[in-house]
Structure 1
Amino acid sequence: MEVFIVIIIMVFVGALIGGVTNSLAIKMLFRPYRPYYLGTWRVPFTPGLIPKRRTELADQLGKLVVNHLLTAEGLQKKLENNLFLNEMAQWVQKELRNLLKSETSLANVIENWTGVESPKQEVQLKLTSWIRKKVEVMLEELRPLPLNNVIPQKINDKVDAYIPELAGIFIEKAKGYFSSSEGIESLSNMVDRFLMGRGALGNMVSMFLGNERLVDKLQPEIIKMLNDEGTQQLIEVFLKKEWEQVKRLRIGDIEECLNLNEVSLYIQEKIIDHIPLDHLDKPLYEWSPMIEKPLVEEIVPRMIEKIGRAISNELVHLLKKLQLEDVVKNQVEQFSVSRLEDMVLSISRRELKLITYLGALLGGLIGLFQGIFIIFLR
């Protein structure tokens, strides 16, 4: 009986020592949180292992995250995964549809997202300024060039083809004018001025022929001249020569006769007037149906794919600029030791208890073997 009690005591003491030492070792991973001193002498094992090595732990965790967890290769595979891209596109499409069916206006969306006040006026100013700059740059480039280099070839060909028709129109208008009473009166006045300028000769012609008879003789001849094919050919040659001279003019020379700045301002005003800026103040659901289908079903998927590809191509440089290793390190260093302890215990509390129980079991077994060994020695 005495032998049995000794063995029980030895087992109990061994189990107690094993369990307590393992539990103490686990707690010493975190505790004490700070060093303790007796005078200038620091008490051994203070602070605990993790508080003492927190800087090294933070550094290693940062390297672990960057080198093994959030790697560029892993993120690139995720960004290029079709299932992930489809899920992102579906999410964006859903959110965009909800937005387009809402009562908010595009102006409110711009103001909320960018902080720009009075978006309509701001957009109008930006557009006006952009168009003005583009026109100024274009005019500076065009001024030294001849008109022939600026006019599109199709327009040039159309003008050349239109010249014979224009000559015919000119002749028909002239014939109609000189056949009218207004034209005959104008021709009569011209004859009067001509004869008055010739002095005695004019008076003599006027006296012998009479003004009325001379006009009557001239008007049919003028009509006959206008009906002649050579007249139209002559006018065509004249118009072609003038058109060629016009095409050789520089834009700068034309600007001296025609204020191109005023023309550009007029064009700018017309462009701005035809841009539907009023839609900015209307609720989205009123006008968005016209753009919803192409925007949601066509543009969004292509945009998501291009954004994913662009991020994937620049991911290595992006991760370097983000400096995730330093971010993780700084975050871990800012954790309190008690928070680190709670995080570790919340994950491995059961396993740590098993380690304590294992220490008690091993201590008990050692006590059992010690008790048996002592009995045999006796």
Structure 2
Amino acid sequence: MGIAGTFIFMIVIGAAIGAVTNHFAIQMLFRPYRPYYLFGKRVPFTPGLIPKRRDELAKQMGLMVTNHLLTPEGIKKRLMSDTVKKQALQFAEQFTHKMAASGMTVHEALAAIGINHPQEAADAWIDRFTDEKLSELYRKYEHRAIKEWLPGDVQEKLEEKVPMVADYILKRSSDYFESEEGKERLGNMIDDFLKARGMFGSMVQMFLGNSSLADRVLPELLKFLQNDETKKLLSDLLSQEWSKLKSYTLYEADEKWNAKDLLFSLKNRALTAFSAAPFFERPIGTLITRYEQDITGTYAPKLLEAALGGIAAHLEDGLKRLRLEEVVKEQVDQFPVERLEEMVLSISKKEFKMITYLGGLLGGIIGAIQALFVVLF
């Protein structure tokens, strides 16, 4: 073989060895996928590097994600960025406009997300809540005088209203006795009074007649009801009764007048009159339209700022609780090696080919050097 043949032969052999070696080295990153055994001994280089180091790779990938990619600082920076806030506010504004134009009722909207019979639930909750609060207040103040738990300004206002109440009672009494029903009632009262007096009453009825006596008594009765002294007398009586009432405890008031039952009865009547049902039958659009400007201009930015601030404040603790490194590790463990090989090769196919060609080039150069040494020595 001549010198040229020696050079060509050595270059081709070196290039082939270099290319094939690099090609197998690349293949051995992933293959074989599982270990092979011969006579009970594991065959060397099985499985491939990545399948063999899969657990360590998964662990390191989890640590890389939590320590360098999804860090609390990076997520906080992203959350508090102007871009995120702007996008969130735009979404809130679009959603508010959409809801303002909706004809869906509150009941229908809640039913759409799986909440049925909301008005009954709301009324029942309000009833339980008010019962609990009233019972709690009653237990707290049942042995204390009314004047001790009733605010001072409320007591003063009630005392100031006593003359007005007295004037109202007297005025209503005057109006009643001036009516036909009142005159008839007055006549019946006089008749009953005279009957109770026996012969004396019969003589008075015989001489004057019942209607005549009622007509004579009525003006005097009206004068009495409209007299300032009568008003003062009634005001004093009401003030005295109010002073007595203030000294009672809730427990005593309950024993005398069933105050507790009366209180709960009034509460039930009030809740019946102010049921939540009409609210749930109103269209969402009418409710939102009324406050649309406030929602988009004031409430949404404040709520967003508070929400993002709360998330940022508890983000680090939340990420620790999520244990993302374990999540990543589990996902990598479950990821098929075949699919991983396919992904890597699809991304770096050209680069791997160049590595193979580079191995052939280096092998060829080494073969040429070897041929040179053979010729020279």
Which TM bucket (shorter chain)? 0.7 to 0.9
Task: Compute the displacement of 1:323 (Å).
Answer: 1.6
State the Cα deviation string for residues 13-71 of structure 1 (Å, max 9, x = none).
22221111111111111111122222323221111111111111111111111111111
Q: Does 1:247 find its partner at 2:262?
A: no
Q: Does 1:134 find its partner at 2:136?
A: no
**Which amino acid letter does the alignment assign opposite residue 268 of structure 1?**
L
TM-score (ref. length: structure 2): 0.80
State the Cα deviation string for residues 295-328 of structure 1 (Å, max 9, x = none).
3443333332222222211112211221211111
Aligned pair count? 363
**Correspondence 1:112-127 to 2 at 5 A:** 112-113=112-113, 115-116=114-115, 119=116, 121=117, 123-127=118-122
**Correspondence 1:183-262 to 2 at 5 A:** 185=187, 189=191, 192=194, 196=197, 229-252=228-251, 253-254=253-254, 256=258, 259-262=262-265
**Correspondence 1:10-29 to 2 at 5 A:** 10-29=10-29
Give percent identity, aligned residues only: 34
Q: Between 333-342 and 295-304, report the one with greater CA deviation.
A: 295-304
- Give distance in 2, aligned partners of 1:41 and 1:152: 91
Q: 2:281 maps to what in 1?
A: 278
Q: Does 1:268 find its partner at 2:267?
A: no
Q: 1:361 to 1:219 in 2, by over 3 A?
A: closer
Q: Between 47-56 and 149-158, report the one with greater CA deviation.
A: 149-158
SS class of match (2:275)? helix
Q: Work out whether residues 119 and 277 of structure 2, in 8 Å CA contact, stay in contact via their aligned partners in 1.
A: no
Q: Between 167-176 and 209-218, report the one with greater CA deviation.
A: 209-218
Q: Give the gaps of 5 or more residues in structure 2.
A: none
Q: 1:189 to 1:331 in 2, by over 3 A?
A: same
TM-score (ref. length: structure 1): 0.80
Q: Between 178-187 and 30-39, report the one with greater CA deviation.
A: 178-187
Q: Between 101-110 and 35-44, report the one with greater CA deviation.
A: 101-110
Q: 1:16 to 1:216 in 2, by over 3 A?
A: closer
- Give distance in 2, aligned partners of 1:99 and 1:244: 56
**Which amino acid letter does the alignment assign opposite residue 133 of structure 1?**
R
- Give distance in 2, aligned partners of 1:215 and 1:103: 66
Q: Give the gaps of 5 or more residues in structure 1.
A: none
- Give distance in 2, aligned partners of 1:376 and 1:149: 120
- Give distance in 1, aligned partners of 2:272 and 2:264: 12
Q: 1:314 to 1:189 in 2, by over 3 A?
A: same
Q: Between 218-227 and 287-296, report the one with greater CA deviation.
A: 218-227
Q: 1:348 to 1:158 in 2, by over 3 A?
A: same
Q: 1:155 to 1:13 in 2, by over 3 A?
A: same
Q: 1:362 to 1:161 in 2, by over 3 A?
A: same
**Correspondence 1:285-304 to 2 at 5 A:** 288-304=288-304
Give the superposed CA RMSD: 3.7
State the Cα deviation string for residues 279-309 of structure 1 (Å, max 9, x = none).
3xx5x55765334443344333333222222
- Give distance in 1, aligned partners of 2:108 and 2:174: 65
